[in-house]
Structure 1
């Protein structure tokens, strides 16, 4: 039986590390694409190899199309196939009101959170189409559905990812490829904890979201990762073109 292969873009982030580890536990060989956290990438590689899986680490700026293509080519050269693409890459910036946000931040946010997803999907789809199988799961945000104060650029990018994924789901269903989006609300990650401690606006907005959430708490990372793994590896073969919220009822649409 051929080994299954997953590519996790943003694999060294808070959620990306959990997703990568879960793929290893599920018997997948994994390619971890990361921007700058080489130490975390090495630790993940050691963890997967110790568990009997193969792991390729690739440093890249996926906001550049040639970098996305280089990564996919390297994965195919190493493993010969890609069964799953999970895009968990985000642009971590402080919350800022739109009219005060520097243009460079707007550009970087769109480049990473929207164009990066486009480039990675475009690079990976040809071999999935040729094999007539594949699953693509992208982490977006409920802000892409309903908007969000102080993160307009990210909300615009995430909304674009949702529309892109629905379009790709329609285009590629006939090839046996499913494309879905997981849209978390606020998650109790290390990054959020650091940002709320450093930025009063982030802390205020986070407190407001907790109060507005029917379940009155933040999501735990594993609660989001569970859904990602179901869509990527479980019995979700008849689910495609969906943007599924994991937000404790904060959004119901």
Structure 2
């Protein structure tokens, strides 16, 4: 690190930081010199592995259990982060369900409600629980992981796009209403990233070579994205280098939709 500090004392809290993309984001914060707390819903072993990886970078890290649909668990994760690190300065929301790939009129009610509960209610719960802690620390930043489908609709991907699109409105609302407390909120819209959900669907045969070729036709860059490229944008938006950036979207999607 140079003489300029990208992050204040305290820690970033990454909801979903034990997942495929979330773990890369958490590690990238560690590489940038930030202390990191990650949450997990059920995979405590993987969360512990992420913590050890981050600690190996010379910063402090911790893992806390938190189901984002349970406000009490989120409040506890926030309180535990503050108790462990002294301050919460950034919150990243990566948590999400594995969405069913189907047309809008063919969703089951159960799949719809699960997507809304985890993505929309989950992010709302995080905002409600974390905002007081950010205020107490003199401000901070929310970074939401959204979908490039907010730029151009992708057929059959609605259960991923629609809940995240609702959160894009909430991001702007937080930026507008909480900016007086030096709290910023931004979103990273991701395209097809070679990690997490994409790899699971590829294993299931949902995403085949024809699907990937059709995706490339809608992009400027003819390749898949890397989770590190998403992480770079997230870390920037949370850092002091983006201290005058709020209510914005950065698409890390290879020019999808242009």
Q: Structures share a fold, TM > 0.5? A: yes
- Secondary structure at the counterpart of residue 75 of structure 1: helix
The answer for the alignment partner of 1:141 in structure 2 is: 147
- Secondary structure at the counterpart of residue 235 of structure 1: helix
Residues 75, 81 of structure 1: 8 Å contact kept: yes
Structure 2 unaligned segments of length 5 or more: list them: none
The answer for the alignment partner of 1:189 in structure 2 is: 195
1:71-90 equivalences under 5 Å are: 71-90=77-96
Answering whether residue 125 of structure 2 is matched by residue 119 of structure 1, we say yes
- Backbone CA RMSD of aligned residues: 1.9
- Secondary structure at the counterpart of residue 140 of structure 1: strand
Residues 78, 133 of structure 2: 8 Å contact kept: no
Answering whether residue 169 of structure 2 is matched by residue 171 of structure 1, we say no
- Secondary structure at the counterpart of residue 86 of structure 1: strand
The answer for the alignment partner of 2:61 in structure 1 is: 55
The alpha carbon displacement at 1:190 in A equals 5.1
Residues 135, 177 of structure 1: 8 Å contact kept: yes
- Secondary structure at the counterpart of residue 88 of structure 2: coil
The answer for the alignment partner of 2:234 in structure 1 is: 228
In structure 2, C-alpha distance between the alignment counterparts of 1:65 and 1:251, rounded to whole Å: 36
In structure 2, C-alpha distance between the alignment counterparts of 1:206 and 1:110, rounded to whole Å: 27
Query: Could you tell which deviates more after superposition, 178-187 or 21-30?
Result: 21-30
The answer for the alignment partner of 1:108 in structure 2 is: 114
Residues 152, 256 of structure 2: 8 Å contact kept: no
- Does the C-alpha gap of structure 1 residues 147 and 68 become closer, same or farther in structure 2, counting only changes over 3 Å? farther
By relative contact order (CA 8 Å, sep 6+), the higher-ranking structure is 2
The answer for the alignment partner of 1:210 in structure 2 is: 216
Structure 1 unaligned segments of length 5 or more: list them: none
- Secondary structure at the counterpart of residue 136 of structure 1: strand
The alpha carbon displacement at 1:44 in A equals 1.2
Aligned residues: 251
Residues 18, 40 of structure 2: 8 Å contact kept: yes
The answer for the alignment partner of 1:7 in structure 2 is: 13
In structure 2, C-alpha distance between the alignment counterparts of 1:72 and 1:50, rounded to whole Å: 23
Q: Deviations over 1:198-222 (max 9, x none)?
A: 134x335443212211212221222
Query: Could you tell which deviates more after superposition, 184-193 or 77-86?
Result: 184-193
- Does the C-alpha gap of structure 1 residues 169 and 188 become closer, same or farther in structure 2, counting only changes over 3 Å? same
Answering whether residue 37 of structure 2 is matched by residue 31 of structure 1, we say yes
Pick one of 44, 49, 52 that aligns with 2:50.
44
- Secondary structure at the counterpart of residue 89 of structure 1: coil
Query: Could you tell which deviates more after superposition, 238-247 or 205-214?
Result: 205-214
Pick one of 156, 160, 165 that aligns with 1:159.
165
The alpha carbon displacement at 1:58 in A equals 1.1
Scaled by the length of structure 2, the TM-score of the pair is: 0.90
Q: Deviations over 1:81-120 (max 9, x none)?
A: 1001011112113412222222111111111111111111
The alpha carbon displacement at 1:141 in A equals 0.5
Answering whether residue 26 of structure 2 is matched by residue 20 of structure 1, we say yes
